[in-house]
């Protein structure tokens, strides 16, 4: 049965501007362990999943069985948008990839701004 644990951990890291190392530190995990979760090689213990769910206000069902990225964009697990005023619209991978690239670009901009601020503060 398909689950979204690894994908959702990756999403939580990206959405909260955390590296896998920082995410792991919040829950007493090493970066390499978080990496195995993201790649679907292994899964967290139930206790760890409970801590993650509590931290991010999720149910275990949401964390395990739903793509949080799509859920937060208003898409169902079938890849369609639920809207009263609009017909169902399919979610395309290219749209998701474009949004993820935008997030990465924004992270880089934020990092550059932090460097600029630190430089200005040192003067």
**Looking at the predicted structure, is the pLDDT value of residue 118 above 50?**
yes
CA distances from 52 to 4, 24, 33, 44, 108 (A): 14, 10, 14, 10, 26
The residue with greater pLDDT, 65 or 104, is 65
Summarize pLDDT for 15-71 with one digit per residue, the tens.
Answer: 999 999 999 999 999 989 999 999 999 999 999 999 999 999 999 999 999 998 888
Summarize pLDDT for 5-25 with one digit per residue, the tens.
Answer: 999 999 999 999 999 999 999
The residue with greater pLDDT, 38 or 76, is 38
pLDDT at 81: 47
Full DSSP string of 44-91: --HHHHHHHHHHTT--HHHHHHS-HHHHHTTB-TTSBB--SSS---BP
With 0.85 as the threshold, say if the pTM is over it: no
pLDDT at 45: 95
- The predicted model gives 72-98 an average pLDDT of 58
């Amino acid at each position: 049965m398909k689950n979204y644990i690894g994908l959702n951990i990756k999403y939580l890291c990206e959405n909260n501007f955390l590296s896998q190392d920082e995410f792991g530190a919040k829950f007493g995990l090493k970066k390499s362990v978080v990496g195995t979760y993201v790649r679907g090689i292994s899964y967290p213990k139930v206790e760890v999943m409970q801590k993650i769910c509590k931290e991010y206000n999720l149910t275990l069902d949401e964390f395990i069985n739903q793509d949080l990225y799509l859920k937060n964009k208003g898409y169902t697990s079938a890849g369609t948008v639920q809207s009263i005023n609009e017909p169902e619209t399919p979610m395309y991978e290219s749209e998701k990839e474009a949004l993820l690239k935008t997030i990465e670009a924004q992270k880089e901009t934020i990092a550059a701004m932090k460097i600029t601020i630190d430089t200005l503060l040192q003067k």
